Structure 1
Amino acid sequence: MGDTTVTELEDRTQAAAPDPVTASDRPPLLHRLRAPRRPRLWFEILLIAVSYWTYSLIRNAVPEQRAEALRNADWIWNAEHTLGAAFEHSVNEAVNSVTWLIVGMNYYYATLHFVVTLGVLVWLYRSHPGRYAATRTVLFATTGVALLGYYLYPLAPPRLMTGGNFIDTVLVHQTWGSMASGDLKNMSNQYAAMPSMHIGWSLWCGLTIFALASLPWVRILGLLYPVLTLVVIVATANHFWLDAVGGLLCLAFGYTVARLWYGALPHALPRLAPAPAPRRTLLPMRTLLPMRKR
């Protein structure tokens, strides 16, 4: 009778005690890093601030190489003429003749580049936390590879070309619209025009909105945003349209990085991050040992 009671107690103890945690119970580290998770606000703010500071520091530390940048601008301009698509000068002059329009574009160029990008990041954080990290990775990889372009291919914007007769719309209309114009020109590398991150970032915003927004008119606005940005960077003579192609290639690289790391494009990941698995407590060894018979 006593032996039967002891056996029943042993069975109950073993059934109630959780299994000990072993190394084989844990998913591989790489799998844990790739798994969608709820982003932490303080970490994301710190990451964005440090990353943008580092990006600006490196971008502006690249030697300006004025002579080479002007030679490259001439080459780009001649290449566009060869392709029969050198329309930047015509757009620049036409839009500049409408004061209210070009002034609005100057402020568009200076502000929406940051405002819309940060707005999309906040929207992702709040409404699509499971996709946030992957989509943010696309943006960061896109921006990171752009630094190689600034270093390897210094390029003057059209407004700084010698003999190009382009209008620097910020100077002419005395507006604040470019970190490389007027009194702000010493704060930024003026010859970092290739690739255009105005296009890289705006296209990232547009594709993200189009893929994830639920309202049709919002999705359409998402697609129109990079198109309008292209018009603005050309009209203000801050970029050639080939700079936009460079931004598109950088974005393609960013999506490739995210696809390889997460195993899917950001929009294909779950909208909500799965709840973290409950932590399993290591039990003392004496608890795991069978009860001794008395």
Structure 2
Amino acid sequence: MLDFLSRRLAAALVTLVLATVVVFAVVEVLPGDPALVMLGTDARPDTLAALRARYGFDQPLVVRYVQWIGGLLTFDLGSSHAYGTSVAKLIGDRLLVTLPLGALALSWAVLVAIPLGVFAAWKHGRPGDWGVMGFTQIGISVPNFWFGIVLVLLFAVTWQFFPAGGFPGWRQDPVKSLHSLVLPALSLSLGEIAILTRVTRSSMLDTLREDYVRTARAKGAPERTVLFRHALRNALVPVTTVAGLIAGFLIAGAVIIESVFRLPGIGQLVYDSINNRDLVVIKNVVVLFTILVLSVNLLVDVAYAVLDPRPRVAT
């Protein structure tokens, strides 16, 4: 088990290092003056020179890269020229919105998709299965931002059950803050629910054809026991892998959803930073996204090893 996890951790670290090199190259090495990009073509030469000196753009590439990596390791991410504050504080404040939003959306996806997938496999080839598959087709086809607008029109404008947007803050009102994340989480999770339902259904259909499932039924085991005790655990192996990938998609998808619902999260920070040409913030946020996705994938590998011990020996 430790050997299996150590190999996965080493692979994640190599991926992270390569990601930092790519991000650094895109932001600071490719043709173009980063200071000119940040301030625009109308900036005065002395202002450009001051910005280059402030962010170290006038230093050699290797020095700049090492300084940036050192800052990442010590949580000194520099300061934003658009917000006038430290990038670490900006990201920390925005994570308090994005992480609960992603966790809530992933919870919706898992709690809805797995029972739907099991039900569709149980009713394979019958109206119940067709209804679930029709729902998943709609979920895959409908953009989540459009679904979010529909939710706002129904539940915020027409029935006024939820706020249309905004975020009061966890310190000001935790209940209203959680309340304001319900509609964004629902809209963010729609496509992922559809994908995870299809994967669960397919995996359950394969598992239900196994000999041990037929044996359990032949011994008179109740259908609920066959489905949830015998078949579901083995069917969860590929479902867990896909759920880990979905967690990464949810983080990326938050960029659009947070803009629709005016949530002050990481997605909105990226959107504003692109408009403000705040390259320092963009560079560090991309690396943060990479770290979050790699961490989720590592947790998925651990769960995969617990559900199916064969990969510990085979890989």
TM-score, with normalisation over the residues of structure 1? 0.24
Higher helix share: 2
> Radius of gyration: which is bigger?
1
